[in-house]
Amino acid sequence: MSDVRTQALLWYWQRMSAMVLALCVVVHLAGIIYAVRGGLTAAEILGRTRGNWAFGAFYAVFVVACAIHAPIGVANIVGETTVGRGSSALVIASVLGVAILMMGFSAVYGLVAR
Amino acid sequence: MTESLKVRVWRGTDRGAFAAYEVPRSESQTVLDVVTYIQRRIDPTLSYRFACRVGMCGSCAMSVNGIARWTCRTHVSRVAKDGVLEIAPLPNLPVIKDLVTDMREFFDKWAKARGQFKGTRTRHDDFARIAPASPERVAADAGIECIGCGVCYASCDVVTWRPAFLGPAALNRAWTLVNDPRDVRQRERLRAVAGDAGCHSCHTQGSCGERCPKHIEPTAGIAGLKRLAARAALRGEL
């Protein structure tokens, strides 16, 4: 895969994930505003989310979109500001992507399945 | 209107200093008039570049009070309300002397972006028929009036940050050709304008469109190039 093609594909995936994130953020905020009417406790949140696989699927998509979007952006920033677009940027972006996936899925699992 | 202008003009090459001059104020005076007055009446060693004086040739662009402009079409009354002018060579380009920049790299980048038209028809063939209202023709029309003055290039922070970046003018030129159905080097051109030195480096800050005296929006063309490059990459054609 040529460098030019990689750049074009990374741009494509960042834009696609941004579209998904925009939708997810709107749904997420709307959900919060709807859910907190009259106050909300942690127990009430868990009461609604446990066993709710649609909720889990939605937030899993949210996590995946974050794990795609953020590392590509960070790799661009690292490439432009410090070490250049080399293996260091790739390592930093990969570590960030894996961390987002692990923390995100752990949170989704905690809300839905635990 | 003040009686005279306090003008600071860059003298030297990449290393130099501003020199101060006092220039009489006059009606409808342009910044180019001011520079010309200094050279003809005060200091004949001042170097600057101009040709048409009417906004057609694109050779007299300079930095005026920190903003790249055509000096021939910039009235002093618009930019020196307090009677002070600071005139410098265009940023992002090497300085040859005083207000004259070396434009070679700027135009070399047009060539790198495959800014040359290449068709297949000869003079013996019939004219190509391009519908004026077709989306490609409309897109090309939006960028075709560029005269290569370098104002966008001098205003682009990405060029400052990343000198290999092709810049707004070269990418705008590529965009007009990408939308020319007669051209036969499309894949090669997309390959030339994609990647770190090309359209993918643009941050869409929009200084180029903001400063362009022809009101062209290079960022719109650059966004179009990103879309076409992504499509080509997905099809394995890049």
Would you kindly state where each structural domain of chain B is located, as residue ranges? 4-101, 104-234
Tell me whether B195 touches chain A (CB under 8 Å).
Answer: yes
Q: Of all helices (H) and strands (E), which one includes residue A104?
A: helix A87-112
Supply the pLDDT for residue A70.
97
CA-derived radius of gyration, chain A = 17
Identify all chain A residues contacting B195, using CB atoms and an 8 Å cutoff. 3-4, 7-8
Min distance A96 CA to chain B CA atoms (Å) = 22
Residues sharing a CB contact under 8 Å with residue B195, sequence separation 6 or more, in sequence order: A3, A4, A7, A8
Read off the pLDDT of each residue in B199-224 and give the average, rounded to a whole number.
96
Beta bridge partners of B7: B21, B85
At residue B187, what is the residue type? Answer: R
pLDDT tens, residue by residue, B119-172: 999 999 999 999 999 999 999 999 999 999 999 999 999 999 889 999 999 999
Residues of chain A that touch chain B, judged by Cβ-Cβ distance less than 8 Å: 2-5, 7-9, 11-12, 15, 79-80, 85
Which residue carries 């013996």 as its tokens? B124
Give the pLDDT confidence score for residue B115 in this predicted structure.
97
Q: What integer pLDDT is reported at residue A80 of this predicted model? A: 82
Nearest to B226 by CA among A57, A80, A64, A8: A8
- Among the partner-chain residues A3, A5, A11, the one whose CB lies closest to the CB of B226 is A11
Q: What residue ranges do the domains of chain A occupy?
A: 3-112
Burial of B74 (0-12, 13-18, 19+ CB in 10 A): buried
Give B38's DSSP letter.
I
CATH code matching the domain that covers B104-234, chosen among 1.10.1060.10, 3.30.450.40, 1.20.120.10, 1.10.10.10: 1.10.1060.10
pLDDT tens profile A18-45 = 999 999 999 999 988 888 887 778 888 8
pLDDT at A85: 60
- In this predicted structure, what is the pLDDT of residue A83? 60
The rounded percent of chain B whose pLDDT value lies above 90 is 95
Length of chain B: 238
pLDDT at A84: 61
- Tell me the nearest-neighbour CA distance from B165 into chain A, angstroms: 12
Q: Check if B232 contacts A (Cβ < 8 Å).
A: yes
Nearest CA in chain A to B160: A80
Superfamily of chain region B4-101: Beta-grasp domain (3.10.20.30)
B226 neighbourhood in chain A, CB within 8 Å: 8, 11
Note whether B17 contacts A: Cβ–Cβ < 8 A: no
- Judging contacts by C-beta atoms under 8 Å, the chain B residues touching residue A2 are 191, 238
Task: Determine the CATH number of domain A3-112.
Answer: 1.20.1300.10
Spatial CB neighbours of A88, under 8 Å, sequence gap ≥ 6: A78
Ordered alpha helix ranges (H), chain B: 31-37, 76-79, 104-112, 135-143, 151-155, 157-161, 168-178, 186-193, 207-211, 218-234
Has residue A1 got a pLDDT over 50? no
**CA A3 to chain CA centroid, nearest Å:** 25
Tell me the average pLDDT of chain A.
89
What is the predicted ipTM? Answer: 0.80
